[in-house]
Amino acid sequence: MAKSISYSDAGVDIDAATRATDKIKELARRTFNERTLSEIGSFGGMFDGAFPKLAQPVLVASADGVGTKLKIAFATGVHDTVGRDLVNHCVNDILVQGARPLFFLDYVATGKLSPDVVASIVAGVANGCRENGCVLLGGETAEMPGFYQEGEYDIAGFIVGVVDRQKIIDGKTIAPGDILLALPSAGLHTNGYSLARKLFFEVAGYTPQTQLPELGMTAGEALLLPHVSYLKPLDGLLDKGTIKGLAHITGGGLTDNIPRILPEGTAVQIERDSWPIPPLFELLRRLGNVSDSEMYRTFNMGVGMVIVCAPADAGAIENYLRDRGDACYRIGKVVTGNREVLI
């Protein structure tokens, strides 16, 4: 009689998935609030959609991943930070329109499911959600043998937030003469890793364990520096009407992200040396003799979020941020032009 073939023979371990789900449930529950109406494991997550304090609530949604930064997690065995990076990236993407996060969904796909690794990833997601006042409402863990290399996985996130229609930040009132303020990043955040990995591991011959004296840490630690959430620094400013535009500096750097919020007939002039560029970027530039244009288009160059405001409001915003202990730099202004960035 022929042997009976099971799903596990094809490489899918349902028992491991169940163990991972049990751990995820406990992590997710720590992010729940009074608006959470379902448990992890339901076919769909439910969230109370009543917004009595908002005159015209508008839902804002975004989805993203963390790119090849995951390769650093694989190489170092550190899996509990990329989930937090994912949440913070998504929070910033809806924050630029004035939205505060409501709930988050994650997706983790791997070839061979390790409950401990998945739990570490989701622990990072849950930490990010708690820090941002966001519910981890649900998600999906997919075991796909033969699709991913051993020990590798991919993660993605989906976020939903809300903003009152009257307080949407859309950049429509940006005009020549407006001021650009910059909030600093912490390393590469989640973009530019394909070039950074090439420069570190191929050109320079570093390993993740290589000590980099100019950075005071290893190469792996430098590349795993967290993606910062700007929700807490900006939360007290969102409803004041003083912010005309916000640009999250991700893939495309300063040169490609700021134009996304500029109205026709405007451009931006950024002053060099108006903010401190972290040593990590100078090291990357030197290792590959990378041109200025490539650096500013590939990396955030030490700027994670750009605020555009009227000159009359710039001082108050700077004082608010500095009183909180948050660094802020005046880096340029809006000029007449064709939606471009001049550095």
Condensed to tens digits (0 to 9), the pLDDT of residues 121-143 reads: 999 999 999 999 999 999 999 99
Hey, what CATH topology would domain 14-167 get? Answer: 60s Ribosomal Protein L30; Chain: A; (3.30.1330)
Neighbours of 209 (CB within 10 A): 11
Tell which residue, 324, 343, 326, has the closest CA to residue 183: 326
* Cβ–Cβ under 8 Å, residues 95 and 230: yes
pLDDT of 22: 78
> CA-CA distance, 248 to 228, in Å (whole number)?
11
Question: Looking at domain 179-342, which CATH architecture does it have?
Answer: Alpha-Beta Complex (3.90)
Q: What is the DSSP letter of 277?
A: P
Phi, psi of 325 (to 5 degrees): 95, 15
Residues of the chain predicted below pLDDT 50? 5
Place of tokens 């769909």: 44
Sketch the domain layout of the chain as residue ranges.
14-167, 179-342
* Cβ–Cβ under 8 Å, residues 296 and 255: yes
pLDDT of 154: 97
pLDDT of 10: 53
> CA-CA distance, 93 to 78, in Å (whole number)?
25
Sheet containing strand 57-65, strands side by side = 57-65, 153-164, 100-110, 135-143
Condensed to tens digits (0 to 9), the pLDDT of residues 262-301 reads: 999 999 999 999 999 999 999 999 999 999 999 999 999 9
Tell me whether the CATH fold assigned to 14-167 matches the one assigned to 179-342.
no
CA 134 to chain centre: 14
Residue 43 exposed, middle or buried by CB count within 10 Å (0-12, 13-18, 19+): exposed
Tell which residue, 281, 287, 302, has the closest CA to residue 200: 287
